[in-house]
Chains A and B, each alone.
Chain A
Amino acid sequence: MKRVGIIGIGHGVFGRRSDATVQELAFEAFRDALDDAGIERDLIDASVIGSVPEYHKQRSLAGVVQEYLGLVPKPTWLTEVACASGSAAMRTGWMAIRAGLHQVVAIIGCQKMTELSTAEILALMGRVGEVQWESGFGTTFPGYYAMFAKRHMHEYGTTREQLLEVAVKNHFYGAKNPYALFRKEISAEKAMASEEVATPFQVYDCCANADGAACVILAGEDQAKEISDKPVWLDGVAAATASMSVLRRPHLVGLPSAEQAATEAYAMAGIEPTDVKVAQVHDCFTVAEIMAYEDLGFCGKGEGGPFVTDRQTYIGGQVAVNVDGGLKAKGHPIGATGVSMTYEIAKQLRGEAGERQVPDADVGLTHNVGGIGQYCFVQVLKRD
């Protein structure tokens, strides 16, 4: 089977973008990616939009984005799997190329989260879990991950200091990313002094909602080699699910969907976890990054806490993780996140990441989680 390559990447500024509609955000990333690929827009024969519809006033978002990008009458479709919607768009674009249906596909992850009022956000927040048996007790997104954290601390002795080191690391690198929402380093003391959200979490354990977009242009192997002198190959594109309800999970100290998607992605790409030099993982909450280290096999189960405090996930450690700031510092426009992760890995593998470049980065990985682990997408990327 022929490979699928990344020939162009684009990214907009993440943050409170009161200056733009969602299609205008998508346009920034798309123009950037076209320019990066050095191709004419006509060469693109389909687009896939990753986004979560309930945040937008505009219904059926793919249509308005397609129009604004000037891609009509080419086909487009939307993928939605909560915070992993961008990676689902990547995966269906990959499928369309592998199936021979399309040759060059633009993947656009875009999201405006600040169109909604605080009241609307709070109402949505009450329905992130399984609504029949859980939401009636006022569960929240941070609340679920807080319960994972409590159990992880109980079983493995993971500490508050270890959890908050994730936030400190990601802010350290976020300060170096021009697209990040928070471009400021933080201290552990400052994180420890922030307001309580859901015990043991404080504000600095949580990522922030944001507006933003990212774009990746994919092409089949032959065309990718023709167009690009530095294609990045999408060699593993695995996905898996876990139960919607935490009442039906085999355990609450990791994400079974991530364990499975990782195993399949490594097999697809023919690599081992230790081959990964740079990774983007879904750090929606501090414990989520620690569980990701373990679920992805970067360290053993329960060793994620010491793994970060031993600086194994800083540049120079075993595997550099979230050196673009992660969701924590970069911001989390949910539909855009998976594509933004892919953008950063492509940048790293091309050796273009500037002051946050990971030396000798030849194999990279993305780990994008939807909801509280109901969905997980793991990609393995390589350079020639």
Chain B
Amino acid sequence: MFKWFGKVNYTPYTKVSDFAQHLRDGRLMGSRCSRCGATSFPPRADCEECLSGDFEFFEVSGRAKLHTFTKIVAAPTGFEDVAPYLVGVVDLEEGGRALAWFGDSIAEDEVEIGMDLQVVPRIFEESEEIKVYYSLEPPGTTWSKT
């Protein structure tokens, strides 16, 4: 059900579709190659290292450090209603990176490259259909359904 992922979803069909289901249930998942063990976040079905197509999901901690960020003021279609919004790229503790919004729990003037953050699974509060994403929150923040 990858169509659940993102405020606007451009890729409803993918081999890592279960990622969104896990996210709805409060788990942030990376992929691990069943043959060579190489891991990836975001997850990928086909191993970049050994080319195997067999993989399994594994849960990542979501502990991360801020690599860079921006506040987007001029928003594209589908995001006008939430602009301006803060977007960050984080380095995950287990390797890999994630790009996500900052949650309301962090004020703009507190944001600093290198700060510790937690990537937290989220469900859009106001949306009738299921819409999931993840956000950047203070360390220790646990999953909340909204």
A residues neighboring B (CB under 8 Å): 119, 122-123, 125-127, 131-140, 142-143, 146-148, 150-151, 154, 195-200, 245-248, 252
Contact A137 B113 (CB under 8 A): no
Contact A133 B99 (CB under 8 A): yes
Minimum distance in angstroms from A379 CB to a CB of chain B: 30
Residues of chain B with a CB closer than 8 A to A126's CB: 8, 76-79
Q: 8 Å CB contacts to A: which residues of B60-103? A: 67-79, 82-85, 87, 89, 96-101
Minimum distance in angstroms from A33 CB to a CB of chain B: 36
Kindly list 16 other residue pairs between chains A and B, CB separation below 8 angstroms, not including A122-B76, A138-B82, A147-B89. Answer: A122-B75, A123-B77, A125-B76, A126-B76, A137-B7, A138-B7, A138-B75, A138-B78, A138-B87, A139-B99, A142-B74, A143-B72, A195-B73, A197-B73, A199-B70, A247-B42
From A136, A150, A195, A246, give the contact of B9 (CB < 8 A): A136
Residues of chain B with a CB closer than 8 A to A127's CB: 10, 76
Would you call B26 an interface residue if the criterion is a C-beta within 8 Å of the partner chain's C-beta atoms?
A: no
Minimum distance in angstroms from A159 CB to a CB of chain B: 15
Minimum distance in angstroms from B7 CB to a CB of chain A: 6
A-B contact pairs, 8 of them (CB 8 A): A132-B14, A137-B99, A138-B72, A138-B78, A143-B72, A147-B89, A151-B67, A247-B99
From B11, B82, B98, give the contact of A131 (CB < 8 A): B11
**How far, in angstroms, from A200 to B100 measured CA to CA in the complex?**
18
Query: With A126-B78, A127-B10, A151-B67 in contact, do A134 and B85 touch (Cβ < 8 Å)?
Result: no
**How far, in angstroms, from A34 to B55 measured CA to CA in the complex?**
57
Residues of chain A with a CB closer than 8 A to B71's CB: 196, 198-199
Minimum distance in angstroms from B106 CB to a CB of chain A: 15
Q: How many interface residues does chain B have, given as a range?
A: 35 or more
Residues of chain A with a CB closer than 8 A to B77's CB: 119, 122-123, 125-126
Minimum distance in angstroms from A45 CB to a CB of chain B: 41
Minimum distance in angstroms from B144 CB to a CB of chain A: 19
Contact B10 A132 (CB under 8 A): yes
**How far, in angstroms, from A47 to B79 measured CA to CA in the complex?**
41
**How far, in angstroms, from A139 to B98 measured CA to CA in the complex?**
13
Residues of chain A with a CB closer than 8 A to B101's CB: 137
Residues of chain B with a CB closer than 8 A to A200's CB: 70
Residues of chain B with a CB closer than 8 A to A131's CB: 10-11
Query: With A142-B74, A148-B68, A150-B70 in contact, do A252 and B42 touch (Cβ < 8 Å)?
Result: no
Would you call B57 an interface residue if the criterion is a C-beta within 8 Å of the partner chain's C-beta atoms?
A: no
**How far, in angstroms, from A245 to B99 measured CA to CA in the complex?**
10
Interface centre among A131, A138, A139, A199, by most chain B C-beta atoms within 10 angstroms, is A138
Residue on A nearest B43 in the bound complex, by CB: A133
Contact B79 A252 (CB under 8 A): no
Residues of chain B with a CB closer than 8 A to A123's CB: 76-77
From A134, A136, A198, A247, give the contact of B72 (CB < 8 A): A198
**How far, in angstroms, from A252 to B88 measured CA to CA in the complex?**
13
**What per-residue 1/0 map shows which CB atoms of B109-145 lie under 8 Å from chain A?**
0000110000000000000000001000000000000
Contact B99 A134 (CB under 8 A): yes
Contact B10 A252 (CB under 8 A): no
The 7 lowest CB-CB distance pairs between A and B, nearest first, are A136-B6, A126-B76, A138-B79, A146-B70, A131-B10, A247-B97, A151-B68
Query: With A125-B76, A150-B70, A252-B68 in contact, do A132 and B11 touch (Cβ < 8 Å)?
Result: yes
Contact B42 A139 (CB under 8 A): no
**How far, in angstroms, from A200 to B133 measured CA to CA in the complex?**
25
Minimum distance in angstroms from B86 CB to a CB of chain A: 9
From B5, B69, B96, give the contact of A147 (CB < 8 A): B69
Contact A147 B68 (CB under 8 A): yes
Residue on B nearest A124 in the bound complex, by CB: B76
Residue on A nearest B78 in the bound complex, by CB: A126
Residue on A nearest B41 in the bound complex, by CB: A247
Residues of chain B with a CB closer than 8 A to A245's CB: 42
Minimum distance in angstroms from A146 CB to a CB of chain B: 4
Minimum distance in angstroms from A333 CB to a CB of chain B: 20
Residues of chain B with a CB closer than 8 A to A196's CB: 71, 73, 84
Contact A246 B70 (CB under 8 A): no
**How far, in angstroms, from A67 to B32 measured CA to CA in the complex?**
52
**How far, in angstroms, from A138 to B135 measured CA to CA in the complex?**
13
**How far, in angstroms, from A53 to B14 measured CA to CA in the complex?**
26
Minimum distance in angstroms from A193 CB to a CB of chain B: 15
Residues of chain A with a CB closer than 8 A to B114's CB: 154
Residue on B nearest A128 in the bound complex, by CB: B76
Residues of chain B with a CB closer than 8 A to A135's CB: 6, 8, 10
Contact A136 B7 (CB under 8 A): yes
**How far, in angstroms, from A13 to B10 measured CA to CA in the complex?**
36
Contact A132 B89 (CB under 8 A): no
From B5, B76, B96, give the contact of A138 (CB < 8 A): B76
**How far, in angstroms, from A146 to B7 measured CA to CA in the complex?**
22
